[in-house]
């Protein structure tokens, strides 16, 4: 067993009704004037009121216009607004974009440099404000990871700021915060969570701890996502999705993700596909390339998904896993090809060029991929 390090938010509070602990956590962290960071969808859905109803302190500012896939300039603008108020903590409420934005805002509240200079690993010196993260989607796992993803409009690619200073002080994960999540976001974020678990399990950095989290996450998400998609008010399915997403976040936050994410990044940066959709469209094609490098792991996954394996060869079982994943994406009505997103085949060389530079993720993949391999995968996804 190789040496591994496990990182997470400092405190996890989970389960139905967990939101009631918010007031206590604010007091424990000595937060008397928190800012809320969220998006229009959350504030307009009524989900934000669940949070404000349990606050017993003044909230100087609510920034509720974080867009999907935020660019660097968005963070800079929101940071300027935030600094106009006397705040002593941040509550992030939303999906990955809102939570990632809040993580960067909390870390850069007293930072005077360029945020673009923080892209990379371990370049954040510290965090000025305590941070509580409350996810409203079951997908990104951002509430327990040390990374924030922002879009770089100049490079037309998403980039990550990776630092342990981004880990929230508290993550409150509760199914009632996801009940108002729209169907298309339930689908995209749910598949995203499944990708996190699967890629963490296949990662060259996987450990017995991340394996346990990733395997259970795959089981929960695979069986509960279609139910939550069909009936968003099914609390049991929402709770299983929230738990599965959290476990997947803990798994990939430590084992890392691989080529699915690396190939998805340029789709988001250049064509503005959502993170979940980008991962979903690339998922089966990358996985078929990975089978040869870790076939036994795919056989393990067949067991986690409760797939029938009698009288099948190992290769047949591995391919059945990919078929089942593709079927899951179709059940939640995610398009199958790049063509469905109006992406031209002419874009493939440029996409491959950009994806091949995402070495931070490609190095975690069980199969080493050349740029020509990546071209072929994009071609198969087209």
The answer to whether residue 12 scores a pLDDT higher than 80 is: yes
222-239 per-position pLDDT tens digit: 999 999 999 999 999 999
The answer to whether residue 33 scores a pLDDT higher than 70 is: yes
How far apart, in whole angstroms, are the C-alpha atoms of residue 102 and residue 120?
18
Q: What is the pLDDT of residue 280?
A: 93
308-319 per-position pLDDT tens digit: 999 999 999 999
Could you give the dihedral angle defined by the CA atoms of residues 198, 204, 209 and 210, in that order, rounded to the nearest 10 degrees? Answer: -30
The answer to whether residue 359 scores a pLDDT higher than 70 is: yes
Strands 34-37 and 61-63: parallel
How far apart, in whole angstroms, are the C-alpha atoms of residue 376 and residue 382?
10
The answer to whether residue 175 scores a pLDDT higher than 70 is: yes
pTM recorded for the entire structure: 0.93
The proportion of the chain whose per-residue pLDDT surpasses 90, expressed as a percent, equals: 87
How far apart, in whole angstroms, are the C-alpha atoms of residue 264 and residue 74?
21
Neighbours of 28 (CB within 10 A): 13
Q: What is the pLDDT of residue 139?
A: 85
The answer to whether residue 355 scores a pLDDT higher than 90 is: yes
The answer to whether residue 104 scores a pLDDT higher than 80 is: yes
Task: State the residue for tokens 């064509």.
Answer: 271
**Facing residues of 281 across strands?**
none
Neighbours of 73 (CB within 10 A): 13
41-56 per-position pLDDT tens digit: 998 988 899 999 999 8
Residues contacting residue 235 through CB under 8 Å, at least 6 positions apart:
16, 175, 176, 179
Residues contacting residue 310 through CB under 8 Å, at least 6 positions apart:
none
143-166 mean pLDDT: 89
Q: What is the pLDDT of residue 249?
A: 96
- Residue ranges and CATH numbers for the domains of the chain are 11-178 (3.40.50.1970), 183-381 (1.20.1090.10)
How far apart, in whole angstroms, are the C-alpha atoms of residue 202 and residue 172?
28
């Amino acid at each position: 067993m190789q040496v591994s390090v496990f990182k997470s938010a400092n405190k996890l509070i989970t389960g139905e009704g967990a939101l009631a602990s918010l007031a206590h956590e604010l007091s424990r962290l000595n937060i008397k004037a928190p800012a809320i960071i969220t998006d229009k969808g959350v504030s307009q859905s009524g989900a934000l009121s669940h949070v404000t109803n349990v606050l017993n302190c003044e909230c100087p500012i609510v920034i509720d216009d974080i867009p999907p896939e935020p660019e660097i300039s968005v963070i800079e603008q929101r940071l300027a607004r935030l600094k106009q108020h006397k705040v002593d903590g941040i509550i992030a409420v939303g999906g990955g974009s809102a939570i990632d934005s809040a993580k960067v805002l909390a870390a850069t509240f007293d930072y005077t440099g360029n945020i673009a200079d923080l892209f990379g690993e371990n370049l954040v010196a510290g965090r000025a404000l305590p941070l509580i993260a409350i996810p409203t989607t079951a997908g990104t796992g951002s509430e327990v990871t040390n990374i924030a993803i922002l879009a770089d409009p100049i490079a037309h690619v998403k980039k990550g700021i990776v630092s342990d200073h981004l880990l929230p002080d508290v993550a409150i994960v509760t199914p009632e915060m996801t009940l108002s999540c729209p169907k298309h976001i339930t689908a995209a974020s749910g598949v995203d969570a499944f990708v996190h678990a699967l890629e963490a399990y296949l990662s060259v950095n996987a450990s017995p701890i991340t394996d346990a989290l990733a395997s259970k996450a795959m089981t929960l998400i695979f069986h509960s996502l279609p139910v939550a998609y069909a009936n968003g008010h099914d609390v049991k399915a929402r709770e299983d999705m929230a738990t599965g997403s959290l476990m997947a976040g803990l798994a990939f936050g430590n084992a890392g993700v691989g080529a699915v994410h690396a190939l998805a990044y340029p789709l988001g940066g250049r064509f503005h596909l959502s993170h979940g959709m980008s991962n979903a469209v690339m998922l089966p094609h990358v996985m078929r390339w990975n089978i040869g490098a870790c076939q036994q792991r795919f056989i393990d996954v067949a067991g986690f998904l409760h797939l029938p394996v009698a009288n099948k060869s190992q290769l047949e079982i591995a391919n059945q896993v990919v078929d089942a994943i593709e079927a899951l994406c179709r059940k939640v009505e995610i398009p199958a090809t790049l063509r469905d997103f109006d992406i031209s085949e002419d874009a493939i060389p440029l996409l491959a060029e950009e994806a091949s530079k995402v070495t931070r993720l490609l190095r975690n993949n069980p199969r080493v991929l050349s740029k020509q391999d990546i071209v072929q995968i994009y071609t198969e996804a087209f």
